[in-house]
């Protein structure tokens, strides 16, 4: 018997698929799509073409319904994915961790989680759910925008219709802030913003720019850094087990490299040292508000009960470990 793992010279097994389907929500030119595309390119390169990956952006493999991505991945409808923790959190409740309001104050805090014991614990958990997690990427800190007015206090959010992603935690957060949240996919969000069916949304600055949200009437952007979503590079376990050891390691190395490059792209232009993206937005007539620490505190206070409620769902020990990693960063 010849096991796939011991094929001579890593030659492609006869049962390798002609194409492996890689799911993402956002395609190029979003950092997320650039990262997915880069992973596919590096896999081809590092396996000498034995593994051929095609990216399907726009959550196309789940008809645009991004919160079904993880289920489809487990079922093998999707072979590989670069997915947001938000979109998988309806199935993996622990991934709501990153959506706890004001848990992570900065990029270093995010790194302390994804690159530390918390990240390892979450990868171990995912490994029990029919997927092989390989690397952490980043969508980013999600900033709030709307078409009506500048947001500086929770009061300013009162009554605004805000599109949120499909984790119920977000409904709780925006309800606590007095807004009127409504769940919809990214595919539905853009038309809803352009017709005014919703007033606002929250997404990383890089998504705000690449998605051309200023042209959809989003003229007020507040940098409040309330949550950030990492991305996870994964392969369906059965697909993974069908590859030779050599090819598995090539796919892993490709994911690690593509993820590191993607994180750097996702953080470009939104820091104190390089605020080029923020300048670009202001140049498009968008009013950009950066909250002071005191202003931010008011939002944190208003959402503390949501944090406490969801910490129980996520698991108090995991949340405690996250808080410790962040404090020690
Ligand atoms: O739908 C969103 O807001 C997006 C693109 O950021 C995610 O998929 C989480």
Beta strands in 165-227, from DSSP E residues, in sequence order: 180-183, 200-203, 220-223
Nearest CA among 83, 82, 137 for reference residue 111: 137
- Laid out side by side, the sheet with 131-141 consists of 53-56, 20-23, 80-84, 228-236, 131-141
Portion of the chain with pLDDT greater than 70, in percent: 96
Closest to 52 in 3D by CA, of 91, 85, 19: 19
Token pair 């998988």 is at which residue? 88
Does ligand 1 come within 6 angstroms of the Cβ of 59?
A: no
pLDDT of residue 128: 98
Q: Whose CA is nearest to atom 8 of ligand 1?
A: 25
Distance CA 118, CA 111 (A): 10
Mutation probe of ligand 1 site: the residue of 66, 182, 188 with most atoms within 8 A of C-beta:
66
Instruction: List strand residue ranges (DSSP E) for the chain, in order.
Output: 20-23, 53-56, 80-84, 131-141, 143-146, 161-164, 180-183, 200-203, 220-223, 228-236, 287-290
Is the CB of 25 inside a 6 Å radius of any atom of ligand 1? Answer: yes
pLDDT at 165: 92
Distance 25 CA to ligand 1 centre (A): 7
139 lines ligand 1 (CB under 6 A): yes
State how far the Cα of 240 lies from the Cα of 74, in Å rounded to an integer.
12
Sign of CA dihedral 130, 251, 111, 209: negative
Cβ contact 122:270 at 8 Å: no
DSSP labels, 255-309? HHHHHHHHHHHHTTT-SSS--HHHHHHHHTT-EEEEPPHHHHHHHHHHHHHHHHH
At residue 3, the pLDDT reads 53
- ipTM of the prediction greater than 0.95, yes or no: yes
Element (H, E) at 32: helix 31-46
Looking at ligand 1, which atom is closest to the CA of residue 139? Answer: 6
Locate the ligand 1 atom nearest the alpha carbon of residue 229 and give its number.
9
Rg (CA), the chain: 20
Residue 155 to residue 177: CA distance in whole angstroms: 8
DSSP 315: -
**pTM confidence score:** 0.95
- The residue ranges of the chain whose pLDDT is under 70 are 1-14
302, two tokens? 């208003």
User: Which residues, other chains included, contact 316 with Cβ-Cβ below 8 Å and sequence gap of 6+?
Assistant: none
Cα-to-centroid distance, 66 and ligand 1 (Å): 8
How far apart CA 125 and CA 307 sit, in angstroms, is 22
């Amino acid at each position: 018997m010849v096991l796939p793992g011991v094929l001579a010279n890593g030659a492609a097994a006869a049962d390798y698929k002609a194409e492996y389907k890689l799911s993402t929500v956002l395609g190029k030119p979003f950092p997320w799509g650039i990262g997915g595309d880069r992973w596919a390119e590096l896999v081809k390169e590092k396996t000498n073409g034995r593994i051929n990956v095609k990216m399907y952006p726009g959550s196309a493999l789940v008809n645009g319904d991004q919160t079904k991505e993880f289920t489809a991945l487990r079922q093998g409808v999707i072979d590989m994915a670069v997915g947001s923790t938000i979109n998988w959190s309806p199935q993996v409740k622990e991934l709501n961790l990153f959506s706890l309001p004001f848990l992570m104050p900065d990029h270093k805090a995010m790194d302390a989680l994804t690159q530390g014991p918390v990240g390892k614990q979450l990868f171990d958990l995912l490994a029990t759910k029919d997927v092989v997690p390989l690397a952490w990427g980043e969508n980013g800190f999600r900033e709030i925008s709307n078409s009506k007015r500048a947001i500086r206090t929770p009061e300013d959010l009162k009554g605004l219709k805000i599109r949120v992603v499909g984790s119920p935690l977000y409904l709780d957060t925006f309800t606590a802030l007095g807004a009127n949240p409504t769940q919809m996919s990214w595919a539905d969000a853009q038309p809803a913003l352009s017709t005014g069916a919703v007033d606002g949304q929250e997404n990383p600055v890089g998504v705000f720019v690449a998605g051309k949200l200023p042209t959809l009437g989003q003229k007020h952007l507040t940098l409040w850094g309330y949550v950030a979503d990492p991305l996870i590079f994964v392969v369906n376990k059965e697909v993974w087990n069908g590859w030779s050891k050599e090819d598995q390691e090539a796919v892993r190395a490709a994911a690690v490299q593509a993820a590191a490059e993607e994180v750097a792209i996702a953080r470009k232009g939104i820091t104190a040292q390089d605020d080029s993206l923020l300048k670009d937005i202001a140049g498009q007539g968008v009013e950009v508000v950066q909250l002071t620490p005191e202003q931010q505190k008011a939002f944190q206070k208003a959402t503390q009960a949501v944090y406490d409620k969801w910490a129980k769902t996520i698991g108090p020990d995991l949340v405690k470990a996250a808080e410790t990693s962040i404090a020690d960063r």
